[in-house]
């Protein structure tokens, strides 16, 4: 398989893609072992539907206009429950300078989908 492009994507979107791939596997080419393992992982850890994930991403962009796409994907995949979990998501970000109110706004958005 040749990689033609790279995009950030959420675990729920990966699950959706692999479920479609699984349907195609019934009629033709079987899924690879890696695809099966990834689908199992996505089923186990993906917490939101693709629709809810997109809505949450939109809300996060509105609340805080300077969250990166990578940060938004991590937030929607991990669904942090408290400020410490949000800080952990940003821990490797050298530009981390969010105050407690901004972190609470992020948590408020996430809480709508829990």
Q: How far apart are the first and last CA of the chain?
A: 37
Instruction: Give CA separation, 15 vs 24, 41, 67, 97, in Å.
Output: 14, 9, 24, 33
Inside any domain, residue 80: yes
* Residue 101: pLDDT band with limits 50, 70, 90: confident
Tokens of 24: 């195609």
66 with 106, same domain: the answer is yes
Instruction: Provide the number of structural domains found in the chain.
Output: 2
Per-residue pLDDT at 94 exceeds 90: no
Q: Do 72 and 57 touch, CB atoms closer than 8 A?
A: yes
Residues 35 and 71 placed together within one structural domain of the fold:
no
Residues 33-91: pLDDT tens digits?
Answer: 998 899 999 999 999 999 999 999 999 998 866 788 888 999 999 999 999 999 888 88
The number of CA neighbours under 13 Å toward the Cβ of 46 is: 24
Q: Is the pTM of this model over 0.75?
A: yes
Q: What range does the domain containing 82 cover?
A: 50-111
């Amino acid at each position: 398989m040749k990689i033609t492009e790279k995009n950030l994507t959420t675990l729920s979107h990966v699950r959706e893609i692999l479920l479609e791939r699984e349907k195609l596997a019934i009629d033709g080419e079987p899924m690879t072992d890696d695809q099966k393992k990834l689908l199992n992982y996505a089923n186990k850890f993906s917490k939101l539907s693709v629709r809810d994930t997109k809505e949450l991403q939109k809300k996060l962009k509105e609340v805080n206009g300077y969250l990166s796409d990578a940060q938004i994907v991590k937030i929607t995949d991990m669904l942090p429950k408290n400020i410490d979990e949000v800080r952990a998501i940003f821990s490797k970000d050298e530009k981390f300078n969010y105050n407690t109110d901004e972190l609470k706004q992020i948590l408020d958005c996430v809480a709508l989908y829990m």
